[in-house]
Amino acid sequence: MFFDPVILWTDALIYLFVTMVLIGVGYVRRHPHLLASWERVGHSASGMASLTVLLFFLLIGLLDTVHFRPALEQTHSNGEINYSADVLSVLDVLVTPLRLQVEKTYSAPLATHLYAKETIELPDGQQTRSFARLLYGGAHLKNPETEHTADIVTRAIRGAAYGLAIWCIFLVALTTTLSYRNQLSFKQTFTRIWQRTTEIPWYAILMTLLILSLLVGSVSALIGYYHVLGTDKVGQDVLYQSLKSIRVALVIGTLTTLIMLPFALLLGIMAGYFRGWIDDVIQYLYTTLNSIPSVLLIAAAVLMMQVYIETHPEIFDTTAARADLRLLFLCIILGITSWTGLCRLLRGEAMKLRELEYIQAAHAFGVSHWRIITRHILPNVMHLVLIATVMDFSSLVLAEAVLSYVGVGVDPSMISFGTMINAARLEMAREPMVWWALLSAFIFMLALVLSANLFADAVQHALDPRTRTLKQRHVKHRSEKNHLLATSKIDNQAKSTNSL
């Protein structure tokens, strides 16, 4: 084989998470009442646009999750293949120019020269201080002073044209599929999409995809010739670091949720349903846990794990495995310390549900507690679980950045938004100031967290019964008001006609 597949701990858990999501989607599709709730999410223009951005980030994260060790050219005499100690991913292969084109030190975005002056030896033997040419950025230009701007614009427009062409192909395929499904003509379906009269807001989805296609096309046309977001102190491409940070953010947001949910569901429902001494013990447990500063608890646990890793290096065959174990342990600690809020919410909801008539009737008929919890309590609190899960995702992504900034987050060898911000802290204080690393981390985090928050808002409006009730009352009140205004207008017209 040309590669040796590698499955890290977080890779396996991500595969498990994706499998659970696919099973959940199949379960929802087989139950009309659940499907109706999620269809309301699909009716939100902001929710579907943000979901499109989230799926784009998720695609990058999944490509960075498939790991392998490439084969070396040298082999043993018996035919055994040697594999590299470096663990790569499919994303690394796709962005090979970003990974391999390493400069000497800092360079600004789309630059052709280093950001700081250095001593250069001239052909006649004299030395001078000037900005040296980059090894890869703009190396194809013979005269950067005159060709630089025109070359960037030409390549960006060409890449945007390719992105636009791909988007047009997707538009035609989507319109054809919708025409066949709704038994309408191509023109009618196309008109409905652009007049925003479709049930699913395809217009918002297509506009989001158009922006992403133009950006991806332009950047793809430039990455082989320029460093689009500049380079850092050791000359590594900042765009490559930003793309690699997406997987860490997604892992923190998803795996922490998987670890948090069993604690919150089990303890929260038990406390609200059984009450008594069980409720007192669980309340004492999460009250005590909340009284401990979470940053100190996480720091102590991570430092203990770091000592174990350093004293047992023989159990790790690669550097990636060691960094991945620390990332997994960080997810476990965050999950253990972040279940208390959802647990308290589920406790209150379970206390309310256990007093309802149908649950009291189940008690009277001798139904077991386990069956009541699984058949009556749990389904009626799942909307709270889904809403809290989606809303906590963005806070967990920001928590990783803060923890890595203070030095108790992911392994220093692992690229993340927190390590980028921590490195940019000193770069912002130098002269001239290196600003692009911090700006890149800010832009990617803003896009990820904002899209997650907008999608969480759409999920809350669709699944929360209280929000739906208020919205229905508002719509009913507005329709009654419009009806009264129309009736009043007709009466006034009738009176004026009679007076004439």
Model pLDDT, residue 464 = 66
The predicted pLDDT at position 169 comes to 94
Q: What torsion, rounded to 10 degrees, do the Cα atoms 76, 77, 79, 82 define?
A: 10
For the segment 33-61, the average pLDDT, to the nearest whole number, is: 87
Write out 426-479 in H/E/C secondary structure. Answer: HHCCCCCCCCHHHHHHHHHHHHHHHHHHHHHHHHHHHHCHHHHHHHHHHHHHHH
Please say if the pLDDT value at position 183 is more than 80: yes
Residue 377's CB: how many other CB atoms inside 10 A?
20
pLDDT confidence of residue 57: 93
pLDDT at 372: 85
Q: What is the pLDDT of residue 476?
A: 47
Q: Which residue has the higher pLDDT, 192 or 427?
A: 192
Residue 496 has pLDDT above 80, yes or no: no
Alpha carbon distance 357, 376 (integer Å): 12
Q: Are strands 3-6 and 81-83 parallel, antiparallel or unpaired?
A: unpaired
Tell me which long-range contacts 472-481 makes (C-beta under 8 A, separation of at least 24).
none
Bridge partners (DSSP) listed for residue 120 = 128
The answer to whether residue 71 scores a pLDDT higher than 90 is no
Q: Mean pLDDT, to the nearest integer, of 89-104?
A: 88
Through-space distance between the first and last CA atoms of the chain, rounded to whole angstroms: 96
Reported as a pLDDT band with limits 50, 70 and 90, residue 470 is very low
What count of other Cβ atoms lies within 10 Å of the Cβ of residue 88? 19
pLDDT interval class at 240 (50, 70, 90): very high
> Is residue 467 over pLDDT 70?
no
pLDDT digits (tens, 9 = 90+) for 396-440: 888 887 887 777 778 888 888 888 888 887 777 777 788 888 889
Torsion of CA 233, 398, 258, 31, to 10 degrees: -120
Query: What is the pLDDT, as a whole number, of residue 132?
Result: 82
CA distances from 405 to 213, 263, 418, 419, 420 (A): 32, 28, 5, 6, 8
Which pLDDT band holds residue 205 (cuts at 50, 70, 90)? very high
pLDDT at 491: 54
On average, the pLDDT of the chain sits at: 83
- 336-339 LR contacts (CB < 8 Å, sep 24+): 336/259, 336/260, 336/263, 337/289, 337/294, 337/297, 337/298, 338/256, 338/260, 338/294, 338/392, 338/396, 339/260, 339/261, 339/263, 339/264, 339/267, 339/286
DSSP string, 56-88: HHHHHHHHTT-EEEEEEEEE-TTSPEEE-SS-E
Compute the C-alpha angle 103/105/108, nearest 5°.
85
Instruction: Give the residue with greater pLDDT, 383 vs 266.
Output: 266
Lowest model confidence (mean pLDDT) among 121-130, 182-191, 244-253, 402-411: 121-130
